[in-house]
A and B are shown apart, each in its own frame.
Chain A
């Protein structure tokens, strides 16, 4: 989700790389790798131990290797290997006890109990004080990361941040392994929302909060709790890790993991040569990789989706209110017609090589709150239905130019905006959407806008933005309020619906749902039905996560929450 814009020059490179990748897959010789380290340990149990896995990255990490400070997904991928949250998530994205287990009676006061004997990589034992330290760091006014929303729900965090208190009053340390946290109010999602990565108090001792993000404890000598520890960071190109023998769940099977940064043009070739064992693939590369003998392509359900939004109103930044004052797409039948006009399956197959599928609502289908498509109003590819709907709405071709006019007889031009980066496929895939609309008689126009400007225009409700392409992701916490509430800046279509607001609020309200997950899901399903029937967006596709794994990698599995714990990974010798 974080492709940033490259320059036009790179567009050429991308085309070339696709060509190159094609060449290299033909000539790919079966791996004649010289493994960096081959170790003595023989066979032990079902999985062999030893060996160093090489993990390829397509973008360089920024080097902010601390959960409290990182900004981009690439850094998070590095972090996942050497650090660990207190709470983990199962394959249904439900929280399960990890280092910490919890108890609560009212969803307001939680008691967390830590495992004893969990060690930081520097040999210091983890205590709840490290968690308090992390929470206070994030709540500090000097903190320059973006995690405060995960702390502000704790009672007293606001006062601490404003300098009115010396500590966060909601944190009550009972002993080294037990802490009681009081939130400012009972919420269903207090647990999944709260910041759950401790920070080593010993390591950061004496470093002011404002200087932490630049300190070597974050950048080159990070210390975590996870199965591997960082031994060397070569900025912009590699991170070396070795196994952490005292890892609390058990000794990792691999000797180490090396992360190497590669240009996207070399990924396929490097996989074919066996230089890298594991990599996330862009859909465009995956078909080439499938043809390699020594690499397996694995897809896992993703949590991101693409949509086409309709601008229905404007957002007032002062009052934080949405007014649905844009008339052009106010007609529900028009929106439905435009949805029926698009052949989403063909589109996904053409531009994502089949690594994805059409989606019918605002929640990826593998999330536990996702409504079954059968319960939603769906808009399958049906040009005839689209034409009927247009006619019902009063959009008919008056002047005989092949395109419909609006109900007042004025020419109707639907403007479709898509962001432009160096990626040459964006324009073609956007053009395809425009053509679908033209085929049912809507005169559509495409406008490609540079990606940074694009989102600024959407946020400011620029009149030039009428229908727009976008993508969103969902996390473990399913609450979609930030993207759909009628007082939210990121509600890009400016969809305002009291029923929707009420459903979203109810789903978080302890008095309504209590701790009943089924009840909560029910409310979200109702909400999805509402959104699907109102069509503020045409939901296009959800994408798979695609991984390339070399055949020597074993015991790596994927589900919707990501891969399994890396301490289980191993390499065939």
Chain B
């Protein structure tokens, strides 16, 4: 297992290099740069823009720019955001906790809902309950998150007044107090549900199908023949087998945790990585844009690795060496 992990980790290096190359070229291929776009003549002047282009190295040949970026990156210098004028690492540190909090909450909600609904539907396939759950799930799969977000705001915030529609915390609360944390949870709930909608739907259906399939297998018949109670068959025998594919999803969720929230964060004005990413694209904030893309790529690679390793852990039949 260790050998395998190391091999995979080494294999990531050329992959990451390739990704960095593509990310860099794509970023540079976007028309304009962080200094172009609509100009406010009261606020700037052509000389400044010329000087900044020179200072930021936009006038250097592309290979030089790429080399500068990569060498800085390897030394842990992620560059300075051209828009916010702070090191990108500071910017990420500001936003990352919000996004992780959102992602984890959404994941927890997803798992709770998916397990509850999946087990229920799996035990009673083709009944009314199963069909209702199935219908809801397909609805959840079909509604894009930006529509779900806007409607959630309309119904739950404006009509019912249950949840806030913007921000990550109530203005005016002292950091660290009990109210502060309650407010954080209150603010994260709705975006987390919206974000988890799609995941919940696919997990539920996955679990349901797996349970149905397993319940027809020989070992279940044997268990029944022994007189094992039905609830034990489902909760222990079938469950154990049905969870295996779900566990491997956990690996992929790592990247989704951070990247999946781009649209949701924007609609709920939730200041996280996703919102930052979208802004950095719009503003040609190359350093921020490239660091976030690299981070997401790395997480996807790591996520795949974790998924593969977990697979070997939960299912000893799979040998990884």
Contacts and interface: CB of A to CB of B under 8 A. Distances in A.
A413 interface: no
A235 B278 contact: no
Interface stretch (A1-9, A366-374, A496-504): A1-9
B13 interface: no
A149 B38 CA distance: 19
A279 to B, nearest CB: 13
B87 interface: yes
B284 interface: yes
Contact of B166 (A219, A266, A473): A266
A526 to B, nearest CB: 22
Interface in A1-53: 1-7, 9-10, 12-13, 16-17, 20, 23-24, 27, 36-37, 52
B266 A270 contact: no
B42 interface: yes
Contacts of B177: none
Interface in B28-51: 30-33, 36-48
A464 to B, nearest CB: 13
A80 B161 CA distance: 32
Interface in B142-167: 146-147, 150, 153-154, 157-159, 161, 165-167
A213 B85 CA distance: 6
A483 B269 contact: no
A62 interface: yes
B167 A260 contact: yes
B269 A262 contact: yes
Interface string A218-243: 01000000000000101111101000
Nearest to A10: B266
B76 interface: no
Contacts of B57: none
A473 B45 contact: no
A265 B153 contact: yes
Nearest to B270: A237
A395 to B, nearest CB: 33
A214 B146 contact: no
B90 interface: yes
Interface residues of B, number: 59
Contacts of B60: none
A451 B39 CA distance: 11
Of B31, B48, B80, B146, most A-chain CB atoms within 10 Å: B31
Contacts of A456: 31-32, 36
Nearest to B91: A235
A146 B282 contact: no
Interface residues of A, number: 71
Contacts of B166: 237, 260-263, 266, 270
Contact of A266 (B83, B146, B165, B284): B165
A542 to B, nearest CB: 15
A89 to B, nearest CB: 13
Interface stretch (A63-71, A110-118, A179-187, A306-314): A63-71
A258 interface: yes
B268 A473 contact: no
Contact of A60 (B40, B147, B271): B271
A36 B281 contact: no
A258 to B, nearest CB: 5
Contacts of A475: 42
A213 B55 CA distance: 16
B168 A235 contact: no
A488 B275 CA distance: 37
Contact of A263 (B36, B46, B85, B269): B269
B283 interface: yes
A6 B262 CA distance: 12
B45 A450 contact: no
B284 A265 contact: no
A351 interface: no
A452 interface: yes
A63 B45 CA distance: 22
B254 to A, nearest CB: 24
B225 interface: no
A16 B45 contact: no
B158 A273 contact: yes
A482 interface: yes
Interface in B7-33: 30-33
Contact of B85 (A13, A214, A234): A214
A23 B151 CA distance: 11
B64 interface: no
A563 interface: no
Contact of B281 (A7, A20, A71, A149): A7
Contacts of B44: 146
A489 interface: yes
A237 B168 contact: yes
Nearest to B85: A213
Nearest to B164: A275
Of B30, B43, B47, B86, most A-chain CB atoms within 10 Å: B43
Contacts of B229: none
Nearest to B153: A266
B320 to A, nearest CB: 39
A62 B84 contact: yes
A24 B154 contact: yes
A229 to B, nearest CB: 15
Interface string B39-78: 1111111111000100100000000000000000000000
Contacts of B167: 234, 237-238, 260-261
B158 A24 contact: yes
B244 interface: no
B257 to A, nearest CB: 19
B275 A265 contact: no
A120 interface: no
A62 B83 contact: yes
Contact of B271 (A17, A69, A235, A266): A235
A490 interface: yes
A71 B43 contact: yes
Given A148-B48, A452-B31, A455-B36, A473 B150 contact: no
B246 interface: no
A353 interface: no
B75 to A, nearest CB: 18
A451 B169 CA distance: 34
B275 A214 contact: no
A482 B150 contact: no
A343 B95 CA distance: 48
Given A27-B159, A266-B153, A455-B37, A16 B32 contact: no
A232 B194 CA distance: 29
B93 to A, nearest CB: 11
Contacts of A350: none
A144 interface: yes
Contacts of A272: 158
B188 to A, nearest CB: 13
Of B52, B80, B172, B278, most A-chain CB atoms within 10 Å: B172
A54 B170 CA distance: 12
A260 B171 contact: yes
Contacts of B269: 60, 237, 261-263, 266
A32 B38 CA distance: 40
B38 A490 contact: no
A258 B171 contact: yes
Contacts of B268: 263
Contacts of A453: 31-32
B267 interface: yes
Contacts of B33: 452
Contact of A240 (B37, B45, B84, B172): B172
A471 B37 CA distance: 12
6 contacts: A4-B38, A13-B267, A62-B85, A63-B84, A240-B172, A263-B165
CB-based closest 9 A-B pairs: A452-B32, A236-B271, A453-B31, A475-B42, A213-B85, A237-B167, A489-B46, A214-B86, A269-B158
Given A17-B150, A489-B46, 9 more contacts: A2-B40, A37-B172, A146-B52, A214-B86, A214-B90, A234-B167, A269-B165, A452-B284, A472-B41
